[in-house]
Amino acid sequence: MGLFDFLKSKSKEIKLEKLDLSWMQGDMHSHLIPGIDDGSKTLEESIEMISRIQNYGIKKIVTTPHIMSEFYKNTPEIILGGLEKVKQGLQIASIDIEISAAAEYYLDEFFLEKVRNGDKLLTVHKNHVLVETGFVSKPLMLVEIFFELEMNGYKPVLAHPERYQYLAQDKKLLHELLDRDIFFQMNLLSLTGFYSRHIQTFAELLVREGKIKYLGTDTHNHRYLDALENLPESKYYDKIREIPLFNTHL
């Protein structure tokens, strides 16, 4: 064992390797606007989490509160109003980081209606719209909603595909989405085993096969960031740096 390997193994034992996400530049999936979804609960918590994310080398944050018809009836006005409060808090705390807001839209009939009506959607970058589904079964209108988004000039970005059981079990659907060039956004935490061993395995497969266009922290609270700090232990920690990501264009 060379000195470098020795030091590396030692640093892993005592968790010395500091999480470095500077190569990603931007994080485009998080829940950092207080009190409007299941993410941050207070402004103070938001500021602390943003400071931690900045310490990982992230230069730009696009935070993405849930918009879900039944649970989180957020609107662009609510989200952008919350963003202003966060910006003021950052200024008071003298934290200098670029932050904007979009949304994580839950795919349901309410959303489909919104798209059909031509409502303006919040985008993470250019025309890229972050969307999520339930974790267990495939939404009935999945492909139709993607089609409708495209017809209205949007590019769907599927949040954390590795977490959807229906997608892991349906290779045909997986390839249909990839053939349609639906962008996949993977959660970094999936590589740490934070969600489950199955999700980690599926995430690793998607990385190996080069299917990822965006990476995100999907930070909801400090527990997520505590777990994220174990990412340097993943055997994919170096590999994900080679992915040509849209994150660097945010």
User: From the CB of 242, what's the least distance to Fe ion, in Å?
Assistant: 25
Strand partners, 187: 216
The CA-to-CA distance between both ends of the chain, in Å, stands at: 41
User: From the CB of 204, what's the least distance to Fe ion, in Å?
Assistant: 20
Residue whose CB is less far from Fe ion, 16 or 225: 225
Q: Which two tokens stand for residue 220?
A: 């909801």
33 vs 83: CA distance, rounded Å: 6
User: From the CB of 160, what's the least distance to Fe ion, in Å?
Assistant: 7
Residue whose CB is less far from Fe ion, 174 or 189: 189
User: From the CB of 13, what's the least distance to Fe ion, in Å?
Assistant: 32
Q: Which two tokens stand for residue 23?
A: 């190569």
User: From the CB of 31, what's the least distance to Fe ion, in Å?
Assistant: 6
Strand partners, 128: 125, 155
Residue whose CB is less far from Fe ion, 32 or 177: 32
User: From the CB of 130, what's the least distance to Fe ion, in Å?
Assistant: 8
Residue whose CB is less far from Fe ion, 148 or 218: 218
Residue whose CB is less far from Fe ion, 7 or 131: 131
Could you list the residues that contact Fe ion (CB under 5 A)? Answer: 104, 218
Pairing mode, if any, of strands 60-63 and 98-101? parallel
Residue whose CB is less far from Fe ion, 104 or 162: 104
> Which single residue brings its beta carbon nearest to Fe ion?
218
